[in-house]
Homo-oligomer: A and B are copies of this chain.
Amino acid sequence: MQLTNVREHNLGTVLNTLAASETPLSRAALAQATELTKPTVSRLIDELLAAGFLIEHAPTRAAGAAGGRPSTPVSIASAQVVALGASVGADHVSVNMIDMRRQIIASAETEVTRAPSPRDAVVLIADLAAELLAATPHTRTSGICVSVPGRLAPDGRSVRSAPNLDWAEAPLAELLEGAPGLEGLDVSIENDARLVAETEVLNRRGEGFVLVYGETGIGGALVIDGEIQRGTHGWGGEIGHLCLDPQGPACRCGRRGCLEAYASYWALAAQAGHQGLIADFFATLDGAARAQAAEQIGTQLGLALSHVLNIADLPTVVLGGYFRELAADITPLIEAQLRAHALTGEAESVAVETTTAQPRPSLAGAALRAIQPVFDAPAEWIRRFDA
């Protein structure tokens, strides 16, 4: 590592350790936790204090160390450096604000009656962001990340297709960068299922699980020991395109018999002749139609999940998106499929759970993503904030 990288790395280590701690930490405790020397830790803390990233607490004297020097614990400053997360759906635009303790400290939402265009979505996001930034005390804002229910272009700057919003080739990052009130912020956009996965990883620290996320399509993530397995091309966890029957129904991806062709909203809506919002579709299903949809979703989802468990032997399945809403209906069907087709189902030890963050898990993930660069390169952000 070059010297500047070592400094970035060490600053990030101290910040991450403090962010993960529930109590303020002394320099000595930080040195022990980070395996850095005490002089190094002291120098890093002075730098972070000067930048306003940390605050010092009242000096304390360790129990039984009456003669020793008192220690001055530090913690992450609340509501100083913040970032914004946003989420665009067919029925809402939401923005929230996160600080460096990784706490959501404010949020605002606008309901819409139909999916906004990319341009309208950006106006609504900028308005909500301005409202939050004006109303919430803070000193610096690092960036904004917008969650989109769609597939991004490989450069991560535009939305290739978001069928539920009726978006295609929308240059979202460019539009956001030009929006009044968002000047100077780092802008990023991300697929909603990925952000839900990141939120779950934070809420299930160190665990292994498979996430399946029902939206227009079906997203997913394979998480082993707290790490999202992105794979060689970034296509790890593409559970929606597991082929359940090579002679099955046609999928949007051009293949046949993918899980998506059975259990995604687009497939179910096409089958039922429904047009409109996902929420409307599932809300308006009557008893028999709901049972039929649940049967189809639960059975095929369970078969696909049995593949994941036979390959990766994970202890937990996490249902997100509308799979979460239908959890009571589909969980018994999923469990039956796991018993039938997964070795781990035989052990009866797979837990079928739902996403932990509510009501908009991808929104929390967007905010986390937006604040993350400050942890990854604190020295660079100290420079940028000072400029």
Chain A residues close to B by CB (< 8 Å): 208, 222, 224, 229-239, 241-243, 245-246, 253, 255, 303, 306-308, 310-315, 340-341, 343-344, 347, 349
Complex partner residue of A255 from B307, B340, B344, B347, CB under 8 angstroms: B340
Interface contact B344-A314, CB-CB below 8 Å: no
23 contacts across the A-B interface (CB closer than 8 A): A208-B231, A222-B311, A222-B312, A224-B224, A224-B229, A229-B312, A231-B312, A231-B314, A232-B315, A232-B344, A232-B349, A233-B343, A235-B313, A236-B313, A238-B310, A238-B311, A241-B310, A242-B307, A242-B310, A242-B311, A243-B340, A246-B303, A253-B343
Residues of B within 8 A of A242 (CB): 307, 310-311
A92 CB to closest chain B CB, in angstroms? 30
Complex partner residue of A311 from B232, B308, B347, CB under 8 angstroms: B308
Interface contact B241-A313, CB-CB below 8 Å: no
Interface contact A343-B238, CB-CB below 8 Å: yes
Residues of B within 8 A of A310 (CB): 235, 238-239, 241-242
Complex partner residue of A243 from B234, B239, B341, CB under 8 angstroms: B341
Interface contact A236-B312, CB-CB below 8 Å: yes
Residues of B within 8 A of A314 (CB): 231-232
Interface contact B238-A303, CB-CB below 8 Å: no
A275 to B208, CA, bound (A): 43
A238 to B306, CA, bound (A): 11
A242 to B344, CA, bound (A): 12
Interface residue SS majority, chain A: loop
- Across chains A and B, which 5 residue pairs bring their CB atoms closest together, nearest first? A231-B313, A243-B341, A236-B313, A235-B313, A232-B315
Interface contact B246-A341, CB-CB below 8 Å: yes
Given A341-B243, A341-B255: A232 and B306 interface contact (C-beta under 8 Å): no
Q: CB-nearest residue of chain B relative to A316?
A: B232
A230 to B306, CA, bound (A): 16
Interface contact A312-B313, CB-CB below 8 Å: no
Residues of B within 8 A of A307 (CB): 242-243, 307, 311
A325 CB to closest chain B CB, in angstroms? 24
A228 CB to closest chain B CB, in angstroms? 11
A238 to B311, CA, bound (A): 6
Q: A222-B312, A233-B347, A307-B311 are in contact. List 14 more A-B contacts (CB 8 A).
A: A224-B224, A230-B313, A231-B313, A232-B344, A233-B313, A234-B313, A238-B310, A238-B343, A239-B310, A242-B307, A245-B245, A246-B303, A311-B312, A312-B312
Q: CB-nearest residue of chain B relative to A345?
A: B255
Residues of B within 8 A of A313 (CB): 229-236, 238
Q: CB-nearest residue of chain B relative to A230?
A: B313
Looking at A232, A238, A241, the one whose CB has the most chain B CB atoms below 10 A away is A232
A311 to B208, CA, bound (A): 14
